[in-house]
Structure 1
Amino acid sequence: MDDFRAWQRLAPLGLLLVGAGVCVVTDAATRRARGTAAGAWVAEGTAGLLGLNAGLSLFGEAVKRRALHDVAARR
């Protein structure tokens, strides 16, 4: 897959995962503040952090791929 197509797929997916991860972490934090049992919000918060970090990783890869595409286009 060329760098431009990779960027087109990875950037939106990364942003989607970042947004979803933030929402899940925020919900887990709200549950913790309300005094919900630790098992519920810890698992949810961990899943949210996994999604957030995966999204950041995918978006970082997308930025790299776009930069490689732009450098190659200048040649």
Structure 2
Amino acid sequence: MIVMMTVFWLGVVVVGVMIFRGQNSNSRSAATSRTRDPSRDRHPLDILDERFARGELDREEYEARKSALQRRDRG
């Protein structure tokens, strides 16, 4: 009887640890995906075009930044 109770409680502890580890790794991967910056995968000219389209930049600033980025890509 004592052996069966020990096996039972050991099983409860093992299952509890497995559940905790599974939830912990899932929350860690979710947090990593939330903090990842999607703009890191995009080309700077695409971001510049979007900012100009939203009206964040005037034409002069847009052209200056665009030419600077194009010079950087060529050089």
Q: TM-score range by the shorter chain?
A: 0.3 to 0.5
Provide TM-score, normalisation by structure 1: 0.48
Higher Cα Rg, which structure: 2
Structure number with higher relative contact order (C-alpha < 8 Å, ≥ 6 residues apart): 1
